Chain A
Amino acid sequence: MTYVCLTDADREEMLKTIGASSVEDLFRDVPAGVRFDRPLDLGDPLTEQEIVERLEELAGRNVHAGEEISFVGAGVYDHYVPAVIDAILQRGEFLTAYTPYQPEMSQGILQAIFEYQTVICELTGMDVSNASGYDGTTVAADACYIAKHATGRTKIVLAETVNPQVRQVVRTYAPGFGMEVVDVPHRDGVTDPDELRAAAEGAACVIFQQPNFFGCLEPAPDLAAAANDAEALPVAHVDPVSLGVLEAPANYGCAIAIGEGQGAGNPLSYGGPHYGFIAARAEFTRRMPGRIVGETTDVAGQRGYVLTLQTREQHIRREKATSNITTNQTLLALGGLINLCWLGPEGLREQAETCMALAEHTKGRLELPLLFPEQTTFKEFAIRVGRSAQDAIREARTRGVNPGYPVGRDYPGMDDAILVAVTERRTLDDIELLAEALAE
């Protein structure tokens, strides 16, 4: 077997030192009644070459984004992932390191996380970010947990235009938190601030998404104001790429900003691993879940970095912790950091503008009615195809184009609607092929 490091001679010597007669003898404390006494029903051990062959065969049966022209988004996006990311993340000193509990051994990871925390704060306008959450759905649950302890209230208000998976995850966590969830339905593809205000009465937090799941721009400052008026914490779920052109949530009254980081620096990878981000105003620093890196000095006065405020976390606070998260998504978050450094402020703005420009152009070329024609959109928009969206998608795929996500899967009365995402990876030729594929 490939990963064995001991020879039989080694084992003999070691057993002698231990004073045991055999390896079997080392398991003498395992009661006979729980011993597993047959071989595991797994296959033969494979050589590396055979492993690669097996995995290539499986991979070969998937239709990936390089094999069809893909306009699928709905929470996960085919943005360009630059080569420098892997060049760094594949280095063993990062890839194979543990959580940086011994800071003198881990200044590389610690400083990188500090830099990541800084860029997330810069994008969102907030004062504190953690080192990452699992994904864009669980950070919404994290925000509700913060809000419960900060306000003492138990009602969560969710805009219906928030990603359905985010809402589903919040609903899964809420009962254990002792919280209840209320939805605010969309009005023509966006959220009405007055309706939100009414629902927010007595709420711990209000979560809305910008741009929302339909790709539409919400009246975010008004939604935040409505939440603040009800003394509920406004929580904005934001697309990091959009923050190249859209205002930072802290600057229009939000208490917490969350989101899915995948579009900024991670490959699609069939849904994971990715990273969620969560950032908040300074007053919530000690309520933040997960890991936080802080700056300090060593005995010689040299600047260095350590995990800090760890007493809030599970491993010291135990049953009173701010959350139970230990292993998070550090490597993916570092991918996000490298991506944002590679783009820089100009690059991020240009990427956002290119997406908007191409999306607008696509609307024009498709000549199909928009689901929400009155709304301004960012990089995604929904069209009506006049027949079953699932059928239209299936047919388009036979022509090598995947036109998007069938919105009717999550929202009633929209079975003829497709959510089309246009990133900077789509060319003008791609868009022509989409138009042809959808034309009847």
Chain B
Amino acid sequence: MKLVFEKSRPGRRAGRVPRPAEVTPPAVPDGLRRQRPARLPELPEIELVRHFTELTTRNFGIDTGFYPLGSCTMKYNPRVNERVAALPGFRDLHPHQDEDGAQGALELMHDLQEMLAEITGLDAVSLQPAAGSQGELTGLMLMRAYFADRGEGDRRRTIVVADTAHGTNPASVTMAGYELQKVATDPRGNIDLEDLRTKVDESTAGLMLTNPSTLGLFDEHIEEVSRIFHQVGALLYYDGANLNAVCGISRPGDMGFDIVHINLHKTFSQPHGGGGPGGGPIAVRDRLEPYLPVPAVIRDGNRFRMDYDRPKSIGKVRAFTGPFGVFVRSYAFMLAWGRELRTMSEDAVLNANYLLARLKEAYELPFDRLCMHEFVLSARNLKREHGITALDVAKRLMDYRFHPPTIYFPLIVPEALMIEPTETETKETLDAFSDAMLAIAREAAEEPETLKNAPHNRPVGRLDEVKAAKRAIVRYRFEDHPDLSAEPTAATAGEGPKGV
């Protein structure tokens, strides 16, 4: 398929802006004036629409089919959310509007904060962070400010992270200026308490953990874990990526966590949009409230306003009050569930356990427990017996018209397949997916070449990621765009984590 630049023809155009004849633009001073226009495409509107429409036909979304990416929570994105986000009172509201002209928006944010506080079991919320990983960084900055305020800033240097953690956790730790301390997982999939006790002392600032873990398992010793950290005056941070498992069943605040980030684009149905936008609000215990980003959205009698008078705040992590359009959608989603939100988590856990029961004979199960909202299988048996890898299974699933699960993550499970169905799937869909996975296990034995050469039914075959990294062609080059088909192609794609 051609790039939009390859369809461009000089003199074609789509849109125009009004140009009142009565006014003339002043000249741009020499030295600042643009010498040559940007080579933006020149196409009429119909060609533009056809180009982008064709691109959508080469893409797969939740609307297209089952999308069981573990730890991504690919649930249905309700269309009513799009309708309400587009209401002019939200969509066309300028963030610098006076507070008296934005009371509806401020009330919505305040309400959302209270709902998130209730769900997490904590006291104060900031909606400002733009995504989960930004929420993580914000949470670590809060820890830093908290300890500095207590005169413990120099002493508290490390953050403990589980070896099953999502890569953002260690990256956030580095960006926040902390040192990383890893803790092992025990054979039941819980944090290894013995290992943990050797890693936590007076120089520990805190723990970053998701519960259930990326293995989809609830840590059975979470209360003891919490005690170990609180005993030395450290804090606990909850990565909310897996919150879909426990809403209304167990609250992170009650588990002992002091800071929680929530992924609005996972648990609360904000569409992923091919890579964003998301929302990563944070909820904290009272004693951390003074450090939250500025401004805070507060109630003042029966009005709502923004409070900038926060001398202990860590500052600002994003413009304005955060991704407001995302709040509208998540708020609408939460209104749909109301106090029945627990059913969402119950069905998510039921769906995952059903798939686990259907698949655990054909694949290896690293941890023999009931799972929560997701589970990890290993394709190690297929590799051992037939030379078929998790990557091959993933590519073949595409031919069955399913999006593959997350692969090669968490790192502690070889040939990992992390599967999260979410609550918005029927039993028929789960059965169809299970049937496909079982068929693939049989194909591994009977016709492995079919798997090795999959996918067969997508717009492209397996893509050469080595060539992409070596050549690093990251933009169209007009006159001298290289022809990569003239260079040899490697058959195997990279076996790195995909899906987190």
A–B: direct contact at CB < 8 Å = yes
Q: Does A176 belong to the interface (CB within 8 Å)?
A: yes
A61–B40 contact, CB under 8 A?
no
- Which residues from A are CB-within-8-Å of B23? 357-358, 360-361, 428
A51–B332 contact, CB under 8 A?
yes
Interface of chain A residues 66 through 91 with chain B (CB within 8 A): 66, 68, 70, 72, 74-76, 78, 80, 82, 84, 86-91
Chain B positions 99 through 118: 1 when the CB is less than 8 Å from some CB of chain A, otherwise 0:
00111110110000001001
Partner of A268, one of B69, B91, B460: B91
- Which residues from A are CB-within-8-Å of B463? 103-104, 296-298, 304-306
Q: Does B343 belong to the interface (CB within 8 Å)?
A: yes
B133–A345 contact, CB under 8 A?
no
A316–B87 contact, CB under 8 A?
no
New A-B contacts (15) at CB < 8 Å, excluding given A246-B33, A329-B275 = A35-B249, A58-B108, A64-B89, A95-B63, A102-B499, A122-B38, A127-B475, A138-B318, A176-B137, A247-B34, A329-B277, A330-B276, A332-B276, A334-B274, A344-B13
B90–A62 contact, CB under 8 A?
yes
- Which residues from A are CB-within-8-Å of B357? 17-19
Q: Given A271-B320, A319-B174, are A10 and B4 neighbors across the interface (CB < 8 Å)?
A: no
A327–B278 contact, CB under 8 A?
yes
A62–B103 contact, CB under 8 A?
yes
B249–A272 contact, CB under 8 A?
no
Partner of A27, one of B249, B320, B369: B249
User: What is the interface residue range for chain A against chain B?
Assistant: 35 or more
Q: Does B467 belong to the interface (CB within 8 Å)?
A: yes
Give the complex CA separation of A186 and B337 in angstroms.
52
B59–A106 contact, CB under 8 A?
yes
Interface of chain B residues 154 through 191 with chain A (CB within 8 A): 166-168, 170-177, 180
Partner of A72, one of B97, B322, B326: B97
Task: Pull 19 A–B residue pairs with CB atoms less than 8 Å apart, ordered by A.
Answer: A6-B350, A10-B426, A18-B356, A19-B357, A34-B254, A39-B342, A61-B104, A76-B320, A99-B274, A104-B398, A113-B274, A173-B175, A243-B34, A269-B324, A270-B105, A294-B469, A296-B471, A318-B170, A356-B25
Chain A positions 162 through 193: 1 when the CB is less than 8 Å from some CB of chain B, otherwise 0:
00010011011101111000000000000000
Q: Does A159 belong to the interface (CB within 8 Å)?
A: no
- Stretch in A41-49, A194-202, A366-374 with 4+ CB within 8 Å of B: A41-49
Q: Kindly report which residue of chain B lies nearest to residue A19, judged by CB atoms.
A: B357
User: Closest approach, in angstroms, between the C-beta of A111 and any C-beta of chain B?
Assistant: 6
- Which residues from A are CB-within-8-Å of B325? 269-270, 272-273
Give the complex CA separation of A289 and B444 in angstroms.
38
Q: Given A270-B94, A303-B484, A376-B26, are A354 and B17 neighbors across the interface (CB < 8 Å)?
A: yes
Q: Given A96-B62, A176-B144, are A271 and B48 neighbors across the interface (CB < 8 Å)?
A: no
User: Closest approach, in angstroms, between the C-beta of A158 and any C-beta of chain B?
Assistant: 14
Q: Given A36-B250, A327-B278, are A117 and B475 neighbors across the interface (CB < 8 Å)?
A: yes
7 interchain residue pairs of minimum CB distance: A92-B63, A59-B89, A331-B273, A271-B320, A108-B59, A330-B275, A271-B95
B33–A176 contact, CB under 8 A?
no
